[in-house]
Amino acid sequence: MLPGNALRPATIKGPALFVAQFIGPPPLFDTLPALAAFAAGQGFKALQLPIHDPRIVDAGRLDDGGHGVEIAAILAAAGLTTSEVAAHRAGQLLAVHPAYDDIVDALAPAAVRGDPAARQARAEADLRRAIALAAQLGANKVATFSGGLAWPYWYLYPPLPPGLVDLAFATLARRWRPLLDAADTAGVDLCFELHPGQDVHDGATFARFLDAIDGHPRAKILYDPSHLRLQHMDYLGFIDRWHERIGAFHVKDAEFTPSADRGVYGGYGDWLDRPGRFRSPGDGDIDFKSIFARLTRHGYDGWATLEWECCLKNALDGAAEGARFIVDHIIRIAERPFDAGMRTSPPTQVLERMLGLKR
């Protein structure tokens, strides 16, 4: 790489905690103050806040701005800040294939269930609220899903008719473009988690989405190596390819153990039975040491956010271990080159003599 394009390393912030999997009855938590106290006690410095559960963030109260002030005060009292606002469910519900109508209704507010048009309108409204909240809290990042219109057709049998996938992405672009423009006005990035079940689920589909939205500058990636690992992708090379678009980072581990009976599709098995499974950080086979090094090298200065999903370990142990895991992997960048004491800046005539151009 030429000096003019030299990489500018940055120190990753962390640890942060995505709290969605920690909402529930004891021993979990059903209020934001309780979640904040727990996270701070484990050493987390920030929370990724989902907007789908009114016990934590009440999306219906976000329009007047007062709820955001209340949220900020609760976090500040625990010594925390907001890493990102999460609106995965709203993103999922913005674009739903009819085959999934009944199953995704469980993700929607009760008032719009059974009404796909109302559900989509509520999803758009909630995404706009998430954008406004991210700006108000100073996070300036919304983590989300793209939704999936073409997902039922991901396997090329029977062969797909020409234009089907193009139409799906054009429709996806029409729904997301106004939201991306609103995010741009607010100074917020929309970070799409590349996730099976969504039309945008790998690098190729993200590139296709970018083309459909004319390369919108606010369309970013939530980098979660677990989803890339279970798709058997080069998750380290992905960072080199897409680092300029990576706006958020989930620290979530995974493992793939080849099976004589099941493949990457899982044979309809539950998580315990699948060859590919999510694990707590450090318990899977993902090379996080190299991931943190690559992100640091490429100048990612956002948060390392623990997303705990493990088919074996309990959530509380996963959080405690995950906070330490992130701290141990964050690389504080060097303040000066290690060879600074040996570097010189000779004049041009000396450089010419070193090259044998002048004697």
Please give the model's pTM, rounded to 2 decimal places.
0.95
pLDDT at 3: 43
Q: What is the domain extent for residue 208?
A: 3-354
Whether 196 is covered by a domain: the verdict is: yes
Query: How confident is the model at residue 93, as a pLDDT?
Result: 98
Asked if residue 359 belongs to a domain, the reply is no
- Whether 179 is in a domain gets the answer yes
280 with 256: CB under 8 angstroms? no
In-domain check, residue 326: yes
pLDDT of the residue at 334: 86
Q: Is the dihedral of CA 146, 148, 150, 153 positive or negative?
A: positive
Structure tokens at 128: 């706009």
Residue 328, pLDDT score = 98
Report residue 312 as tokens: 């074996």
pLDDT of residue 2: 38
CB crowding 151-169: b at 16 or more within 10 Å, else e: bebeeeeeeeeeeebeebb
Answer yes or no: is 225 within a domain.
yes
Structure tokens at 198: 């969504």
Q: What is the CATH number of the domain that holds 15?
A: 3.20.20.150
What the block records as the tokens of 13 is 């912030």
Q: Specify the pLDDT at position 131.
A: 98
- Does some domain include residue 235? yes
219 within domain boundaries: yes
Number of domains in the chain: 1
pLDDT tens digits in sequence order for the chain, 359 residues long = 334 456 789 999 999 999 999 999 999 999 999 999 999 999 999 999 999 999 999 999 999 889 999 999 999 999 999 999 999 999 999 999 999 999 999 999 999 999 999 999 999 999 999 999 999 999 999 999 999 999 999 999 999 999 999 999 999 999 999 999 999 999 999 999 999 999 999 999 999 999 999 999 999 999 999 999 999 999 999 999 999 999 999 999 999 999 999 999 999 999 999 999 999 999 999 999 999 999 999 999 999 999 999 999 999 999 999 999 999 999 999 888 888 888 889 999 999 999 999 87
79 in any annotated domain: yes
**Predicted pLDDT at 6:** 61
